[in-house]
């Protein structure tokens, strides 16, 4: 699998799971949390250059690693 796809998978699963669990315990509604978590992951994927560590960014795009 491509490295960018692996990071994207972890990004989306992480945000969706975190929001789902938060909404499950706070509002007793995990479905809304999953939808909002996925939406947050989708909107924040454009901020990767500012959020992700430089080392991970280089690893994703390095053809020799």
pLDDT at 64 > cutoff 90: no
Band (pLDDT 50/70/90 cuts) for residue 2 is confident
- Please give the Cα distance from 55 to 43 (Å, whole number): 23
pLDDT at 12 > cutoff 90: yes
pLDDT at 11 > cutoff 90: yes
| Contact between residue 41 and residue 19 where contact means Cβ atoms under 8 Å apart | no
Q: Quick one: pLDDT at residue 32? A: 86
Query: Which residue in the block uniquely carries the two structure tokens 């939406």?
Result: 39
pLDDT per residue as tens digits for the range 20-46: 999 989 888 888 888 999 999 999 998
The domain of 37 spans 3-61
| Contact between residue 8 and residue 45 where contact means Cβ atoms under 8 Å apart | yes
**Could you tell me where the DSSP H helices lie in 1-65?**
3-26, 30-44, 48-51, 54-61
Cα Rg of the chain, angstroms: 14
Q: How many domains does the chain have?
A: 1
């Amino acid at each position: 699998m491509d490295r960018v796809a692996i990071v994207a998978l972890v990004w989306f699963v992480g945000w969706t799971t975190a929001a789902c669990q938060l909404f499950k315990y706070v509002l007793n509604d995990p479905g809304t949390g999953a939808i909002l978590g996925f939406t947050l992951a989708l909107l924040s994927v454009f901020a990767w250059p500012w959020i992700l560590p430089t080392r991970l960014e280089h690893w994703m795009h390095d053809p020799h690693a």
